[in-house]
Chain A
Amino acid sequence: QVQLQESGPGLVKPSETLSLTCAVSGYSISSGYYWGWIRQPPGKGLEWIGSIYHSGSTYYNPSLKSRVTISVDTSKNQFSLKLSSVTAADTAVYYCARSVLSYYFDYWGQGTLVTVSS
């Protein structure tokens, strides 16, 4: 059974870099699929951040592209998100998910709330 688990600081200061990791179990990232990050501000809708293939090929949301880096570590079976120069607008629950052909998302992590505040 595929399982994803986000981890990282729950509080980040403005202008700093948000860093999250998604550990995958029950499936080898090297076997295929894309792996993505989606966020949801409190009480609001879903926003796709970006996706990565095990080869390292990435797709990013243009609205965040200048600040986002997604990377993959196949040896640890995990992938990561870095979002730089954060502001309060980046406060959200961040989800990692498996993406079928980089189309839709069939397995999701439970989500982790990241608050941007001094």
Chain B
Amino acid sequence: DTVLTQSPALAVSPGERVTISCRASESVSTGMHWYQQKPGQQPKLLIYGASNLESGVPARFSGSGSGTDFTLTIDPVEADDTATYFCQQSWNDPYTFGAGTKLELK
């Protein structure tokens, strides 16, 4: 299975720029997607196809990458962005998720 590796946690101040990385154990082309999950809630789609912003998601969120290295960027970060962010690949079977990066605000 394709393993997706994310850093476990980040702490940033409101107004700063944050990048959350996701590295795949093998190429996933641009079949990488990003979700935000707040405590007690279901995941919410942010980015699909590595760089496409889901409708209704603020333009502060952006995604980039291809192959094995991907990045989710939030610029600027707001207090409401406190959440865990998961990457997910759909290029190789089975679909797999990263373990999540918990974003905390200072």
Q: Is B a genuine binding partner of A?
A: no
